[in-house]
Amino acid sequence: MFKKILVANRGEIALRVICACKELGIPTVAVYSEADRYSLPVRFAEEAVCIGPPRSADSYLNVASIISAAEITGAEAIHPGYGFLAESAYFAEVCQASNLTYIGPTPEVISLMGDKNRARARMAALGLAVLPGSEVIPSQEVALEEAERIGYPVLVKAVAGGGGRGMRIVHSREELPHLLQMAQNEAASSFGTPDVYLEKYIVSPRHIEFQVLGDQHGRVIHLGERECTIQRRHQKLLEESPSTQLDKEARLRVGHQIVQALEKIGYTSAGTVELLMDENRKLYFLEMNTRIQVEHPVTEMVTGLDLVKQQILIAAGGRVPIEDETLALRGHAIECRICAENPVTFAPSAGKVTVFHPPGGTGVRVDTAAYAESVIPPYYDSLIAKLVVHGKDRHEAIKRMARALEMFIVEGISTSIPVHQKIMADPDFQAGNFDTHFLSRFTSNGEG
């Protein structure tokens, strides 16, 4: 087992990794920007190193500073969390070159899955259904030809994209040149490359993903699916497991296909295969995230497995924790992402938290690094807490979430709590009838 792990992240996920390490008896090193000097990860890690000013490019994305922090503290491994460098093949390679264990997949697999076009082609070759799409678009003329072949509406997507950036929906030939340019510009700004491709746009989709674990001995397992359809601006706001759209037979069939494909590419560590479901309940491979997900707690609640611990154990040479390909899901779990945002416009709401009272009680979990008198800086993602509940069934989980949201008190900043309360009270949500546009009914600008 590792003698010391550096956590190359911030906020609730950094604290989550530190908690797992403490239970495994492994000392941790927190890295922090000047904006996070008084954060809980800094307080609870055994050591902490400042790696730069508030701007991400100068701190949490500064590979040299993070590697230096690991070397001067004697860390043996680095856990990247999610976001920042968590899907950087370059960072994983630098860790290897520096004799540090990267707690995640190999650089080669990260690189393969990080290129969405290559990933789609490889998964299609391994038997997974993919949406009709194009190769990387070299010119406007090719884009127009490919869009005609695929059929409108189409989605322009950044090859290296994520979080809804570098993405535009195109409904007609006339719209394509302008929206293509916008997507390319955003992709270049966000990911360092303007490369985009086209994909068939499903008008009323559902977003379903499968959690996987792979070890260094060639075995991969899946831990069922999460429903991630409730989104705003292509970013998830609420997740649950299991999905109302998959029965046990479908779960086993799709999970088996995913496991077989990932075993063939040598996948290791935790990962998530994201799928799009059309109006006929057919599932298409969308992309793979080669890291722990924000929403991993819902899977932990219905399986009883600590996924972050499993990542660490697998990186140390351990095996996946079950002999079968999957295990039975117990009850139902829902996660609400509590963001520092205006609940109507979703505009960020940074500032000082004057009151912070998280809910508790049976079946309630709160993952957060916020506390009363803490400051939510304007430089990073707006997520401040993940409220997760577990119930014997979906009905009980919804009731429990509604109760927990009512008891979650945050003052000093605006949060998304009112939005989540509206979702829990909505008859269509309660009945399981929704798609990715569901949230538009609660926003001032009609955006879902």
Domain that holds residue 417: 206-442
**pLDDT above 60 (res 448):** no
Instruction: State residue 26 phi and psi, 5-degree precision.
Output: -110, 120
**pLDDT above 80 (res 327):** yes
Based on the domain organization, do 425 and 353 belong to the same domain? yes
Average pLDDT rounded to a whole number, residues 287-311: 98
Does residue 112 sit within a domain?
no
**pLDDT above 50 (res 129):** yes
371-406 per-position pLDDT tens digit: 999 999 999 999 999 999 999 999 999 999 999 999
Q: According to the model, what pLDDT value does residue 233 have?
A: 79
Q: For residue 21, how far is the Cα from the chain centroid?
A: 21
Q: According to the model, what pLDDT value does residue 443 have?
A: 64
Domain-terminating residue out of 157, 174, 200: 200
Domain with residue 162: its CATH number is 3.30.1490.20
Based on the domain organization, do 283 and 152 belong to the same domain? no
Smallest CA-to-CA distance from 213 within 246, 253, 261, 262 is with 262
405-427 per-position pLDDT tens digit: 999 999 999 999 999 999 999 99
For residue 309, give the amino acid letter: K
Query: Higher model confidence: residue 117 or residue 152?
Result: 152
Average pLDDT rounded to a whole number, residues 242-247: 97
Based on the domain organization, do 268 and 383 belong to the same domain? yes
Average pLDDT rounded to a whole number, residues 240-248: 97
Q: Annotated catalytic sites, by residue?
A: 291
Based on the domain organization, do 390 and 434 belong to the same domain? yes
Integer Cα distance of 308 and 261 in angstroms? 23
Q: According to the model, what pLDDT value does residue 446 have?
A: 43
Based on the domain organization, do 248 and 328 belong to the same domain? yes
Strands 165-170 and 154-162: antiparallel
**pLDDT above 60 (res 359):** yes
Average pLDDT rounded to a whole number, residues 2-13: 98
Does residue 28 sit within a domain?
yes
Based on the domain organization, do 153 and 229 belong to the same domain? no
Query: Higher model confidence: residue 345 or residue 103?
Result: 103
**pLDDT above 70 (res 301):** yes
Are the C-beta atoms of 298 and 334 separated by less than 8 Å? yes
Instruction: State residue 47 phi and psi, 5-degree precision.
Output: -140, 155
Average pLDDT rounded to a whole number, residues 119-148: 95
Domain-terminating residue out of 176, 200, 224: 200
Based on the domain organization, do 244 and 161 belong to the same domain? no
Domain-terminating residue out of 103, 122, 143: 103
Based on the domain organization, do 298 and 435 belong to the same domain? yes
Are the C-beta atoms of 392 and 329 separated by less than 8 Å? no
Integer Cα distance of 389 and 297 in angstroms? 9
71-125 per-position pLDDT tens digit: 999 999 999 999 999 999 999 999 999 999 999 999 999 999 999 889 999 999 9
Please count the structural domains in the chain.
3
Based on the domain organization, do 411 and 279 belong to the same domain? yes
158-206 per-position pLDDT tens digit: 998 776 789 999 999 999 999 999 999 999 998 889 999 999 999 999 9
Q: According to the model, what pLDDT value does residue 429 have?
A: 97
**pLDDT above 80 (res 444):** no
What percent of the chain clears pLDDT 70, i.e. is strictly above it?
A: 98
Based on the domain organization, do 348 and 291 belong to the same domain? yes
State the average pLDDT for the chain: 95
Based on the domain organization, do 149 and 165 belong to the same domain? yes
199-237 per-position pLDDT tens digit: 999 999 999 999 999 999 999 999 999 999 999 878 899
Q: According to the model, what pLDDT value does residue 445 have?
A: 47
Based on the domain organization, do 430 and 331 belong to the same domain? yes
Does residue 127 sit within a domain?
no
Strands 355-357 and 383-391: unpaired
Q: According to the model, what pLDDT value does residue 161 have?
A: 75
pTM here is 0.92
Instruction: State residue 141 phi and psi, 5-degree precision.
Output: -60, -45
Query: Higher model confidence: residue 234 or residue 310?
Result: 310
Domain with residue 248: its CATH number is 3.30.470.20
Are the C-beta atoms of 30 and 12 separated by less than 8 Å? no
